[in-house]
Every structure is written in structure tokens, then in C-alpha cells.
């Protein structure tokens, strides 16, 4: 397991260009034998294949407008990384999610169709602003988990490596889409509009996946599940409580991901 570090930007070099071959998952609650933590990880894994491909399509649409060759190279590298994230998480979804939740899909949900429609209507700059905001969310979450490797104690080593590799690359390219957005003439109002649209759809998607599994397993009948969920998201562990301020830092007018 990778130890936490104050400088994650070059750590992704520890992972060569290989696929993560996850063994067959035999336990429904494979993440530390915790229903809450497993459903949280499952929901993220299920949402990533669709989301990452949307990110790539938005960035590719901007390549011709980029005059800075260095930024264009970063954009292409970003797209390659995101495509790999999509593929690897889809493989994990097939191994860890689909066998236990056969009706849970990675696409063709109403909220995804609504998301695509909104993204089409708002125009190219706000689409990029949405992606830049989502990259902020994933980078801050990545920094948090990389700084708390104890979360992965007891988790399959290959799955742990996959997630840490993903987090490292999210931290590494956290400023790319943000810089592309401003390079094509984006402004603060558009950036903030993209932030709130992204937050709405990310929450909608996560809740949709999470409660699909809660309903499937009938966990809503368990008092202990509610206690564990509060503990994990807002209580002593409190991942959302601890990430709220880092997420909100994006709203500062002079914010930049590399600050």
C-alpha cells in the first residue's frame, strides 16, 4: 500500500501501463466487510465509466481551440488517463458490483439523459466548467484517501492499487481542465455555474446508485445500517464532513487547483 505524502503529483509513476486483474469477488460486502463502505465504493465504481468518457469528449472538443502546445499535450495525456480509468473501473464493476446487483447499470438512467441534455443546452464553456468542477471533487477526494491509507486496510490488494492509482492520476491532472476552461475564454460566473450543475448531478447519480443497492439488500430495515452510514459520512470517520470545506474552496474567485 502506498504511504501518504505531501506531494502526490509524481507518485503515479509507480504504476506502469498495466491492467489491474481483479480476482473474482466472493463477498458481497468486500470493502472491510462493511455494507456502507462497500456500497459507497460500488456507487463510485459504477458511475466512473460513464463520467470519465463524458470528460474526455468535452476536452477533445476543445483541442482545436488551444493555442498553447504544452496545454494541448496535457489535454491529450488527461484524456488517455481518463479512458484508462473508465476501462479499469468497468472491469471492477463487472467483478465486484454486477454479480451482486444485476440490475445496476453504468448507463441509460434518466438522470444521465437529463445530464446529457443539460450539458448540450448550456454550451461548450459551461460543459468544460462542469468537468473542471468534477475534477476538483475527484482530486480533493483523492488527496483525502491518499492521506488516509488506513481506509484500505483489509481490502483486496489489487483493488487497493487500482483506487490509489486512480487517485494519484486525479491529483496529477487536477488543473488541466481548469486551465483549458480559462484558455478558451471561460469566466468566473460560468465556472461557478458549472460547479453547481456538477454538484447536483454527482449527488443525484451517487444517491441513485447507492439507494438502489440499499433497496436491493433491504438495508433500510436495519437500524445499524443508518448508524454506520452516519458514522462513515458525517460522524467520527466523516468523509463528507471532512471534504466539505475542500470542495467549497473552488468557489473562491481567485482559486486555482495548483494553489
Mean per-residue pLDDT of the chain: 90
Backbone φ/ψ region at 66: left (φ over 0), alpha (ψ -120 to 50), beta: beta
Gap between the Cα atoms of 111 and 199, Å rounded:
13
**Residue-wise pLDDT tens digits, 62-77:** 998 999 999 999 999 9
The whole-angstrom separation of Cα 239 and Cα 202 is 16
Phi-psi category of 238—alpha, beta or left, where left has phi over 0 and alpha has psi -120 to 50? left
Give the whole-angstrom CA distance, residue 256 versus residue 147. Answer: 21
Confidence of residue 174 (pLDDT cuts 50, 70, 90): very high
Q: What is the DSSP letter of 94?
A: I
What is the model's pTM?
0.90
Q: Is the pLDDT of residue 8 over 70?
A: no
138 touches 168 (CB < 8 A): no
All three cell numbers of 41: 465504493
Q: What's the grid cell of residue 39?
A: 456500497
CA distance 211 to 208: 6
| Residue 138: all three cell numbers together | 475527484
| pLDDT at site 25 | 87
- The Cα 242–Cα 45 span in angstroms is 21
pLDDT tens profile 73-129: 999 999 999 999 999 999 999 999 999 999 999 987 888 888 888 888 999 999 999
Q: Please name which of 159, 131, 223, 206 lies closest in space to residue 27, comparing C-alpha atoms.
A: 159
H or E segment and range at residue 77: helix 69-92
Amino acid at each position: 500500500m502506498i504511504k501518504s505524502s505531501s506531494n502526490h503529483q509524481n507518485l503515479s509513476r509507480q504504476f506502469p501501463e498495466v491492467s489491474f486483474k481483479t480476482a473474482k469477488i466472493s463477498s458481497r460486502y468486500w470493502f472491510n466487510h462493511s455494507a456502507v463502505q462497500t456500497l459507497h465504493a460500488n456507487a463510485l465504481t459504477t458511475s466512473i465509466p460513464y463520467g470519465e468518457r463524458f470528460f474526455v469528449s468535452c476536452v477533445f472538443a476543445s483541442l482545436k481551440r488551444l493555442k498553447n502546445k504544452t496545454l494541448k499535450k496535457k489535454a491529450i495525456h488527461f484524456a488517455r488517463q481518463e479512458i484508462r480509468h473508465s476501462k479499469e473501473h468497468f472491469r471492477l464493476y463487472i467483478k465486484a458490483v454486477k454479480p451482486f446487483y444485476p440490475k445496476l447499470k453504468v448507463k441509460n438512467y434518466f438522470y444521465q439523459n437529463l445530464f446529457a441534455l443539460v450539458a448540450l443546452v448550456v454550451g461548450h464553456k459551461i460543459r468544460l466548467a462542469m468537468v473542471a468542477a468534477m475534477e476538483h471533487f475527484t482530486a480533493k477526494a483523492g488527496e483525502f484517501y491518499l492521506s488516509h491509507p488506513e481506509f484500505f486496510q483489509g481490502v483486496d490488494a489489487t483493488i487497493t492499487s487500482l483506487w490509489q492509482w486512480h487517485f494519484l492520476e486525479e491529483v496529477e491532472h487536477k488543473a488541466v481542465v481548469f486551465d483549458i476552461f480559462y484558455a478558451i475564454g471561460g469566466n468566473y460566473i460560468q465556472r461557478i455555474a458549472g460547479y453547481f450543475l456538477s454538484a447536483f448531478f454527482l449527488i443525484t447519480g451517487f444517491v441513485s446508485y447507492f439507494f438502489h443497492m440499499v433497496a436491493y439488500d433491504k438495508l433500510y430495515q436495519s437500524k445499524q445500517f443508518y448508524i454506520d452510514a452516519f458514522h462513515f459520512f458525517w460522524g467520527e470517520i466523516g468523509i463528507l464532513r471532512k471534504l466539505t470545506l475542500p470542495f467549497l474552496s473552488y468557489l473562491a474567485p481567485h482559486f486555482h487547483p495548483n494553489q
